[in-house]
Amino acid sequence: MFGLNVVKRQEPPKWGSFLIYPGCIALSLCISCLLLAAQGKPALEGMVMLWQGAFGAWYAFEDTLLKTVPIFLCSLGVAVTFRMQVWNIGAEGQFALGAVGATWAVLTFPNLPGWQLMPIMFLSSAVAGCAWGLIPAYLKLRLKVNEIITTLMLNYIGILILQFLVYGPWKAKASFGFPMTEEFPSAAVVAAIPGTRLHWGVAVCVVAAVILTIFLSRSRLGFELKASGESLGAARYARMPYGFLVMLVMGLCGALAGWAGMLETSAVVGRLQPSIMVGYGYTAIVVAWLARLKPWAIGLAAVFLAALRVGTENLMLELQVPAAFGHIMEGLILVTVIAGQFFMNYSIRLGSAEVSK
Amino acid sequence: MSPELLIPLLAAAVQSGTPVLYATLGEMFTERSGILNLGVEGMMVVGALAAFLTAKFTGSPWLGLLAGGMAASALGGIHALVCLEFLGNQTVSGLALTILGAGLADYLGTPYIGQNAPGFYAFDMPVLSAIPFIGPIFFKHDALVYISFLAPLAFWFFWHRTRTGMALTAAGEYPKAAAAAGLNPVRLRWIGILVGGFLIGMGGAYLSLAYTHLWTNGMSAGRGWIAVALVIFAFWRPGRAVFGAYLFGGVMAFQLRLQATGTNLPSSLLLMLPYALTIFVLLLSAMRGKGKSSAAPAALGVNIEPEG
């Protein structure tokens, strides 16, 4: 690289992630500053506003945590599929289908009490999201159809299904032409944790993360999953159930993303409307890669990217910066981190090439 | 269907297939050198914006086209830097590029939403446009469409009859052997990304300068992803890419026309057609390709590890 000698490391350096990740993020923040300056906005003040918008007050931090929930759930699922080198880009569509599934339950059983309706909603959103994840898994296994493209196309289709329903058959009578369903009855709303604006979906995140961590590190299937990701050939040789594992991770991701969609619809918005689709599924990919697919790190990265979104909203209000600024920052962070991971795996030696093994 | 209805529809298919064709050929160019670039969607929309702004402020659509190609190529340069120099994961880098490109185009383009720019306009090709049936379908378009007719032939010639073309293929098939033969596969892949990126940018420029003459956010609407799928569908061969692109153009044009005639079908269901067709087309090529060895370049998506 650039005439320097690149040497593969035997193992990543201990200091690596403490130096590289903050460095990459700092670099991407610097570039974002330049972009702000290029539009004639105060760059450093902008960064302060970003921080204050996300962490400046308890109220702001609650917003951040609320946005963490869907990002975290989607990312958890995405990370599990990435572990198997299954490139599932479909969390966005699975999120949409989850929201649709939950709304179907609410509209079908409007008079059930909460303790009956809530489990049905959890189930229907998981089933809908899961189904949306299993289609590309099946096509990949059966016909070797590239899952990157099928999951992506199913994102577009999933969002259009959601739109079709809220513009058409599910549109509320008193919506004055706005595309939205009736407001959910209180039995269908995931309640807030007393004393906060956070809803009990936070607990779902914690439980899901704990169960998944145990599953990945302690169970036989979890081990096989990791092994198949690292070497497909070896896994096949050891007669690991590759096909089953692909279906499992895709279904799991779909169910988790589906729950994210359900929680967003039920607890945050209180009805189904197209504006729930704000790209959490794509942010989940950034989070998963940032966290190197580890569940605990996904928690941290999800809070970080949720903070970025909330902070950007503050920036939109204060400096009239378009919402797309947040997406640029997400893209920049991902790019710098992918490049930065180079230094985890390789070291650079100056001077002439000496044979080193 | 009567010719009065069929001819305009087919002509529209050619027109709306053209941006997809440019993007498909660009991605094919990159992939043939061994690099998987999933940033097409982002590069296309950045190309569309750069082309629009340049044409708007210089008044020249040709300069706009150049700027669109160069902007997408520059964005591709990030992909090249990440994958070729920093040995990053090609799949994730491409996704990052799409997120970054879409964000950049939205951010920089928002002040210009709904504004117009000078662009390319249709003119009749002398003699050829007079041919019955063929003429009105293929030869009553703008200059970029005519250029796109020549592109697949040029590609075929480049890949099969020129040294650089064959060297690029070697970098995509077996970079180690290419290096042993005295070629520089990393540099060849840089060329693959940058030139492919320029073509992808031309596809984007077509959207803002010829297909429409104005700027709106999210112009590419998944066309970049469709192009990635079409490369697979085309088995990495330019001739089949033309067929695939016009098929998509046809479905998009058909869907628009159906909406315009005020059908009872809801628009969201019609809008699904191109995306559903993408999946269907992939299914079709998967079934056709079954049993055969994969048509993909052997080293597609595999980074070149440094020696030592």
- pLDDT tens-digit readout, B201-215: 999 999 999 999 999
Overall average pLDDT of the B164-185 stretch:
92
Instruction: Report the C-alpha gap between A116 and A130 in whole angstroms.
Output: 21
> What's the pLDDT at A356?
43
SS3 A165: helix
CB contact B295 to A (< 8 Å) = no
Q: DSSP secondary-structure letter at A196?
A: S
Q: What is the DSSP string of B192-239?
A: HHHHHHHHHHHHHHHIIIII-SB--TTTTTTHHHHHHHHHHHTTT-HH
List chain A residues with CB under 8 Å of B93. 335, 338
Residue B229 to residue A326, Cβ atoms within 8 A:
no
- Res A6 pLDDT > 80: no
CB < 8 Å from A in window 236-275 of B: 266, 268-269, 271-272, 275
The continuous run of DSSP H or E covering A5 comes out as strand A5-8
Q: What does the block give as tokens for B26? A: 């660009």
Could you tell me what percent of chain B has a pLDDT over 70? Answer: 97
Domain ranges of chain A: 68-302
Put simply, the chain B residues between 71 and 100 with a CB less than 8 A from any chain A CB are 78, 81-82, 85-89, 91-93, 95-100
Higher pLDDT, B3 or A179: A179
Q: Are B18 and B148 in contact (CB under 8 A)?
A: yes
CA distance to partner chain A, nearest, from residue B100 (Å): 4
Amino acid (1-letter code) at residue B182 = G
- Is B50 contained in some domain? yes
At residue B292, the pLDDT reads 59
Pull the structure tokens for residue B248.
């998509």
Report CA dihedral (B30, B35, B38, B39) to the nearest 10 degrees: -60
Cβ–Cβ < 8 Å for B112, B101: no
What is the rounded average pLDDT for all residues in chain A? Answer: 89
CATH of residue B103: 1.10.3470
Q: Which residue of B has its CA nearest to A86?
A: B91
Share of chain A above pLDDT 70, in %: 96
DSSP string for chain B? --HHHHHHHHHHHHHHHHHHHHHHHHHHHHHHTT---TTHHHHHHHHHHHHHHHHHHHS-HHHHHHHHHHHHHHHHHHHHIIIIIS---HHHHHHHHHHHHHHHHHHHHGGGTT-B-------PPTTGGGSTTHHHHHSSS-HHHHHHHHHHHHHHHHHHHSHHHHHHHHHHH-HHHHHHTT--HHHHHHHHHHHHHHHHHHHHHHIIIII-SB--TTTTTTHHHHHHHHHHHTTT-HHHHHHHHHHHHHHHHHHHHHHHTT-SS-HHHHHTHHHHHHHHHHHHHHHHTTTSPP-S-TTTT---PPP-
Give a yes or no: residue B301 inside a domain: no
For residues B145 and A304, give the distance between their C-alpha atoms in angstroms, rounded to a whole number: 46
Calculate the CA A125 to chain-centre distance. Answer: 17
Query: Rounded to an integer, what distance in angstroms lies between the CA atom of residue B100 and that of residue B46?
Result: 10
> Which secondary structure element, helix H or strand E, spans residue A40, and what is its range?
none
- Give the residue numbers spanning the domain of B173: 3-117+137-288
pLDDT band at A224 (very low <50, low <70, confident <90, very high): confident
Q: Is the pLDDT of residue A251 over 90?
A: yes
Q: Average pLDDT for residues A77-88, to the nearest whole number?
A: 93
Instruction: Indicate whether B237 belongs to any domain.
Output: yes
Domain membership of residue B293 (yes or no) is no
Q: Of residues B103 and B296, which shows the higher confidence score?
A: B103
The CA-based dihedral angle spanning residues B266, B267, B270, B274, taken in that order and rounded to the nearest 10 degrees: -150
Output the pLDDT for position B227: 96
- Which whole-number Å values give the CA distances from A309 to A198, A320, B94, in the listed order? 17, 15, 22
Contact present, B141 and B148 (Cβ < 8 Å): no
**B43: closest CA of chain A, how far (Å):** 13
**pLDDT at residue A2 tops 60:** no
Q: What confidence category does residue A355 fall into, taking pLDDT thresholds of 50, 70 and 90?
A: very low
Q: CB contact, 8 Å: B302 with chain A?
A: no
Amino acid at A99: A
Q: Which residue has the higher pLDDT, A344 or B33?
A: B33
Do residue B106 and residue A6 have CB atoms under 8 angstroms apart? no
Residue of B nearest to A151 (CA): B279
Please answer whether residues B207 and B220 qualify as being in contact, where contact means their C-beta atoms are separated by less than 8 angstroms: yes
Overall average pLDDT of the A205-234 stretch = 87
Confidence of residue B276 (pLDDT cuts 50, 70, 90): very high
Q: For residue A343, is pLDDT > 90?
A: no
**Cα–Cα distance for residue pair A227/A142, rounded to 1 Å:** 21
Instruction: Report whether B15 contacts B140 (CB < 8 A).
Output: no
Helix (H) or strand (E) segment spanning residue A150: helix A147-167
pLDDT confidence of B154, banded at 50, 70, 90?
A: very high
Contact flag B308-A355 (C-beta cutoff 8 Å): yes
State how far the Cα of A257 lies from the Cα of A263, in Å rounded to an integer: 10
Identify which of A57, A55, A65, A46 has the alpha carbon closest to the alpha carbon of residue A317.
A46
What pLDDT is stored for residue B291 in this prediction? 55
pLDDT confidence of residue A177? 77
Tokens representing residue B98 in the block: 């799409």
Distances from the Cα of B162 to the Cα of A175, B81, B156, B165, B187, angstroms: 64, 26, 10, 5, 17
Which residues share a beta bridge with B107?
A: none
Q: What is the pLDDT of residue B256?
A: 85
Residue A199 pairs in a beta bridge with A192
The residues near B75 (Cβ < 8 Å, ≥ 6 apart) are B39, B42, B43, B46, B97, B100, B101, B104, B197
pLDDT at B290: 64
pLDDT tens for each residue of B65-78: 999 999 999 999 99
B-chain CB neighbours of A149 within 8 Å are 225, 228-229, 232, 278-279, 282
From the centroid of its chain, how far is CA A13? 28
Half-sphere exposure of A301 (CA within 13 A, CB side): 29
- Average pLDDT along chain B: 91
Question: What value of ipTM does the predicted structure carry?
Answer: 0.91
Confidence of residue A221 (pLDDT cuts 50, 70, 90): confident
Structure tokens at B184: 């520089």
Structure tokens at A172: 């509320």
> Is the residue at B218 inside a domain?
yes
Mean pLDDT of all residues in A156-160: 96
- Per-residue pLDDT for A350 more than 80? no
- CA A208 from chain centre, in angstroms, equals 14
Residue type, A316: M
> Given a cut of 60, is residue A353 above it in pLDDT?
no
Q: Report CB contact under 8 Å: B38, A153.
A: no
pLDDT in tens, A41-77: 888 888 998 898 888 889 889 999 999 999 999 999 9
Query: How would you label A247-278 residue by residue, b for 16+ Cβ within 10 Å and e otherwise?
Result: bbbbbbbbbbbbbbbbbbbbbbbbbbbbebbb
- The verdict on a CB contact (< 8 Å) between A331 and B103 is yes
pLDDT digit string (tens) for B101-142?
Answer: 999 999 999 889 999 999 999 899 888 888 888 888 899 899
Total number of domains constituting chain B: 1
**Under an 8 A CB cutoff, do B283 and A145 touch?**
yes
pLDDT band at residue B33 under the 50/70/90 scheme: very high
Q: Is the dihedral of CA A162, A163, A167, A172 positive or negative?
A: positive
pLDDT band at A304 (very low <50, low <70, confident <90, very high): very high
Nearest of A205, A96, A115, A211 to residue A157 by alpha carbon = A96
Q: In the block, which residue shows the tokens 């940032």?
A: A290
- A216's CB contacts (< 8 A; 6+ apart) are A80, A83, A222, A225, A226, A295
Distance CA B163, CA A329 (A): 41
Of A157, A168, A282, the CB nearest to B99: A282
What the block records as the tokens of B45 is 């929309």
* pLDDT of A357 strictly over 50: no
**pLDDT above 80 for A26:** yes
Q: B107 at the A interface (CB within 8 A)? A: yes
Contact A323, B103 (CB under 8 A): no
**Mean pLDDT, rounded, for A178-193:** 89
